[in-house]
């Protein structure tokens, strides 16, 4: 669950403008709507150790499989924008410890994300990732790597599973998930994929409608009934029919 996507769905850029409750509400909807595990963006944890503790409890109760928690100064911004800053390393590690202590199940995954590359360099980012793993985080996420050399170095220098953020228009020069796997990454996320496609297709069909005044129909996957089946209509039809 991308924070950028949730922000855009509410009409805002990814500038840390949403609250914890708004993010958890979206996480709950997504978790109940899909059968695959959901990894949710929990931004900076929305405050100090107290806030992080509540955030972890709320996200875990929403049904997601895990969260990623970052070290940006609040209000944060998209990791692939300029102008970011990060909190001190000891403050970040303290927040990770609070997150690990707050989860009810060890199966709930805590991903420690650092944005330190942009302002403090790759060495500092790797040190933060390793300390976060030592503090109990399950996965390390070094955001916005700026070269293939940096991308390759992280899994070698970080003592635990690593996540790579694949953003083709961003700062990290990787688009091939096979390459990410070969380099040693255990998770690759593509957070802008559906958002970008939706905006692109939406702009196109609206432009067609404006110019032709004829419904283009290009985005229709079939009949109205087929569309609703994509969202679970068959189960509800079964209930309507008295479970027969």
122-141: average pLDDT? 98
Give 60's contacts (C-beta < 8 A, 6+ positions apart). Answer: 103, 104, 105, 108
Tally DSSP H helices, then E strands, for the chain. Answer: 11, 6
What percent of the chain is modeled with pLDDT above 70?
A: 98
| Cβ-contact 190, 5 below 8 angstroms | no
User: Does the structure show a pLDDT above 80 at 218?
Assistant: no
Task: Give me the CATH topology for the region 3-192.
Answer: TIM Barrel (3.20.20)
The values of phi and psi at residue 216, to 5°, are: -70, -30
Pick the more confident residue, 96 or 81: 96
Name the helix (H) or strand (E) containing 8.
helix 3-9
User: Does the structure show a pLDDT above 70 at 80?
Assistant: yes
Predicted TM-score (pTM) of the model is: 0.93
What pLDDT is recorded for position 89? 98
DSSP 29-61: HHHHH-SS--EEE-TT-SSSHHHHHHHHHHHHH
Distance CA 38, CA 66 (A): 7
Pick the more confident residue, 155 or 75: 155
Residues of the chain with CATH 3.20.20.60: 3-192
User: Does the structure show a pLDDT above 80 at 5?
Assistant: yes
What pLDDT is recorded for position 216? 82
């Amino acid at each position: 669950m991308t924070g950028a996507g949730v922000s855009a769905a509410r009409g805002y850029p990814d500038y840390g403008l949403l609250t914890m409750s708004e993010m958890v509400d979206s996480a709950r909807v997504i978790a109940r709507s899909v059968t695959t595990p959901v990894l949710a963006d929990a931004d900076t944890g929305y405050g100090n150790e107290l806030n992080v503790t509540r955030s972890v409890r709320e996200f875990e109760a929403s049904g997601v499989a895990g969260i990623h928690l970052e070290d940006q100064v609040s209000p944060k911004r998209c990791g692939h924008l300029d102008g970011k800053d990060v909190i001190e390393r000891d403050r970040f590690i303290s927040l990770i410890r609070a997150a690990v202590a707050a989860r009810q199940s060890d199966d709930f995954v805590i991903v420690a994300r650092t944005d330190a590359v942009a302002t403090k360099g790759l060495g500092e980012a790797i040190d933060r990732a390793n300390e976060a793993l030592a503090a109990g985080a399950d996965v390390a996420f070094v955001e916005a790597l700026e070269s293939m050399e940096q991308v390759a170095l992280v899994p070698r220098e970080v003592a635990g599973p690593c996540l790579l953020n694949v953003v083709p228009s961003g700062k990290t020069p990787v688009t091939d998930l096979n390459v990410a796997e070969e380099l040693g990454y255990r998770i690759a996320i593509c957070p802008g994929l559906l958002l970008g496609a939706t905006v692109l297709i939406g702009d196109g069909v609206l432009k067609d409608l404006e110019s032709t005044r004829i419904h283009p129909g290009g985005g229709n996957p079939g009949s109205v009934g087929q569309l609703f089946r994509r969202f679970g209509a068959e189960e509800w039809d079964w209930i309507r029919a008295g479970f027969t």
